Chain A
């Protein structure tokens, strides 16, 4: 069994300040972990993925995430928020053994950027 918990349903930050979106996971197998972003009226886009290589993963648009096995966490961060970052963000888990088939999504975190 696998699941993800996104600890905040809504996060608001001012433009230019750091972003932190929190995610905890549970998996019976060694997990693959992903962050996807969903802009209104657009498809889900992969931001970054962890697949048992480096624990600090860098993604697109300046985002990064750190896999912490002891804390079962995979939090998403960005040093400086931009207005274009406003969107819904999903933390996703998949058992590494199954690769990228069985994706389990969290409930999402809506990120609002204050000008």
Chain B
């Protein structure tokens, strides 16, 4: 299967600890997105990359959050000093952006469920 993969699928941590999630997009996709989904809500946009460049960050992304895509392939999302309010599903998506074509769908991974105790 060559879809978007995320690791780990589940993470339980104690408040104040740091956590890091990984996303591997579909190989030819140059755009990568992170979303957060809390219980009973739809996903909310956090940030996205064009290759290795981070092009936009949501106001939801506090200073404790950092995302990287160092070689334009996989991406990591780190949360420092986790809080209980960070408990959520973190979703990664990717798509191929070519020229003026803007409507290619985003392909989503299965998500990483974070529980902060």
Asked if B43 lies at the interface with its beta carbon under 8 angstroms from chain A, I say yes
- Chain B residues with a Cβ under 8 A of chain A: 3-4, 31, 33, 35, 40-45, 48, 56, 91, 93, 95, 102-111
Assuming the contacts A51-B103, A101-B48, A108-B42, asked whether A44 and B56 have C-beta atoms less than 8 A apart, the reply is no
Interface size on A, residues (CB 8 A): 25
Residues of chain B contacted by A90 (CB below 8 angstroms): 42-43
How many inter-chain residue pairs (CB < 8 Å) link A and B?
Answer: 56
Asked if A41 lies at the interface with its beta carbon under 8 angstroms from chain B, I say yes
Choose one: B31, B40, B106, B111; the contact of A103 (CB below 8 Å): B106
Cα separation A104 to B46 with both chains bound (whole Å): 11
Return the chain A residue nearest B50 by Cβ: A101
Measured between C-beta atoms, what is the minimum distance from B91 to chain A in Å? 7
Return the chain B residue nearest A92 by Cβ: B42
- Chain A residues with a Cβ under 8 A of chain B: 32, 34, 36, 41-46, 49, 51, 90, 92, 96, 98-108
Contact indicator B42/A45 (Cβ below 8 Å): no
Contact indicator B105/A43 (Cβ below 8 Å): no
